Amino acid sequence: MLRFKHIKFAYIAGGKVYSVTTDKTVENQRVKLTVTNENGVISASVSSVTPIELLRLSAEFEYDFKSVSRVYLNGYQSWTDSIEHPINGRLHGVDHIPKPIADKYAFSQYGDYTFTKYSLKKGVMHGFSYGYIRNYDVYDFIGSLNEDSGFTTIRTDCAAGRVLAFKECSELHITDSFEGLKLYIGRGSEEEVFDKWFGLMGMEKRDIPRIQGYTSWYRHYQDISEEILTKDLEQSDLGAEDIFQIDDGWQTAVGDWLSIDEKKFPNGIKAMTDKMAELGKGKAGLWLAPFVCEEKSELFKNHKDWLLKDKNGKVVKGGSNWSGFYALDIYNEGFRAYLKEVFDTIINKWGFNRLLKLDFLYAACIVPRSDKTRGMVMADAMKLLRELAGKVEILGCGMPLASAFGRVEYCRVGCDVSLDWDDKPYMKLMHRERPSTRNCILNSVFRRQLDGRAFGCDPDVYLLRDTETTMTSAQRRCLAEINALTGSVWFTSDNAEDYGDDQKKMYENASALFGCKVISAELKGKELVLQILHDGKKELRSYELKDIPELPVKKLMP
């Protein structure tokens, strides 16, 4: 069991640094630190009668790690690899990447690398918002109950028998109060601890309808057009209630969402929603990344005042996708008015009123403000999107997961899958958010408890086709079966008409797993072993995750 030891609190007042280590409430003439420990909930809040700058607010716990213990710490955002580790596990950051490469591709911006220390010491690992130590089927759980006030970093030092929880608050200026840490500490079965945690957050487990459909991305990437998508739609076996999602490539540039690429869509993007209605196939879904713009966009050229800036006044890069992209300031009134027009046009004029896939959302909170933590900023960003989308369902992607809890209908829980199994060897040395079918599968398994509690989990697409991919039949089967077992989104980029007997059989076997429950998951080296409840009976399933030499790529005939 996690045993509470103490709270560490530090702040600046009047140019002087003050700190205290305590397990109970303390106060002086300036500040009061209120510490409570009741019914498995530990909290530490701050109130001040004078302006102060916070430096640290953390809780320390003792824990008796065992050789069989498995440690899970939730990764920073949707794409960050998040699996159970042995007690001698380690996480890799981006410090090992040569600086010219790191700077060129802005790897540090995708994750937590600019504000979290990565350790080379075995057993020193970290994650965000929640985690657990599992000893067989007993879970010792720690989870934040108030991520909207600031993200909570959970760090283990297994050799020292310590678990630390840090509330994001460094350099935050307050003049009255700060909610601070609020943690649920529990022990029990998987169901017991996750039900209790979400119950304390006011979110009861519920049935979230599985959505099915087609997305253009893994078939065409940005090379889409009205002609190509019309052909996809006509050849599809989509039902009237399934989703036909148009992904990236419809706009002239990322950020210029009201500017349709007329060479690709000479009749405008609404022609596609009209075609769906005409054929009675699919409900309209659309991809966009509302909080970023690429360097070649008109928005970037003409609205520099909308760009997010750090405390030194420098514009904030979001990453290297497209022509390189930058984050936008969600508090800028001009930008907010623009987003309102974008959403109104997409939903009410173009007819994309079923599902919006909103991507690269982490960009909103890359940097904190003096009066707001990253968690506060991300909460405000999600409230804005919820208001703009109205009743249209949101599929969140590329975002800190706790900020999506209860605010979106569906959310990606892993990185992008790939037409390869685990990308090129040199890519494995890059950031934790890189595309990888293998990593996406593992994230889906180890974040499965969020499905039906926080939102419907999106495990990304299944790909069964044997063209344009180096994945083996076993790898494609694994992807489809894990998606069916762990998620509420069942999307593909395949054309089912192209399936041979083998692909049809894999599809039938995978879809037969809908509604089955994963009772346990164990990562044994490069083998993933699941125990599932299938038709009322317990069943073991084993998947080989090791790399296999790449197969020749079969291209689709034109």
**CATH number of the CATH domain containing 410:** 3.20.20.70
pLDDT recorded at residue 178: 97
pLDDT at residue 550 tops 60: no
Q: Which two tokens stand for residue 359?
A: 């991507």
pLDDT at 548 over 90: no
Does residue 525 form part of some domain?
no
Rg of the chain over CA atoms, in angstroms? 24
Residue 186 shares a structural domain with residue 219: no
CA–CA distance, 297 with 278 (Å, rounded to integer):
33
Phi, psi values for residue 482, rounded to 5°: -65, -40
pTM, whole model, 2 decimals? 0.96
Query: Residue holding tokens 């989870």?
Result: 143
Any domain includes 88: yes
- Is the same domain home to 256 and 323? yes
Q: Which long-range contacts (CB under 8 A, 24 or more apart) does 308-317 make?
A: 308/363, 308/364, 308/366, 308/367, 310/367, 311/367, 311/370, 316/109, 316/363, 316/366, 316/367, 317/106, 317/109
DSSP 251: B
Residues 281 and 358 in one domain: yes
67 & 131 share domain? yes
243 and 197, same domain (yes or no): no
* Domain assignment of residue 535, yes or no: no
pLDDT of residue 547: 74
> Of the residues 177, 201, 225, which one is the last residue of a structural domain?
201
Question: Is residue 529 domain-resident?
Answer: no
Clarify whether residues 121 and 226 are in a common domain: no
β-pairing verdict for 26-27 and 31-38: antiparallel
Instruction: Give the integer Cα–Cα distance in Å for 513 and 533.
Output: 10
Mean pLDDT, residues 343-353: 98
- Quick: pLDDT tens for 86-123: 999 999 999 999 989 998 999 999 999 999 999 999 99
pLDDT tens track for 484-493: 999 999 999 9
Burial class of residue 225 in the structure, from the number of CB atoms within 10 Å of its CB (0-12 exposed, 13-18 middle, 19+ buried)? middle
Domain boundary residue, one of 201, 222, 238: 201
* Domain span holding position 384: 211-513
552 belongs to a structural domain:
no
Domain tally, the chain? 2
User: Do 241 and 302 share a structural domain?
Assistant: yes
The string of pLDDT tens digits covering residues 451-475 is 999 999 999 999 999 999 999 999 9
| Same domain membership, residue 271 and residue 157 | no
What is the helix, strand, coil percentage profile of the chain, to 5? 25, 30, 45
Residue 533 lies in a domain: no
Angle at 39 between CA 37 and CA 42, to 5 degrees: 30
Are 475 and 418 a contacting pair, CB within 8 Å?
no
CB 305 within 8 A of CB 334: yes
Instruction: Using the 3D structure, point to which of 144, 176, 201 is the last residue of a domain.
Output: 201
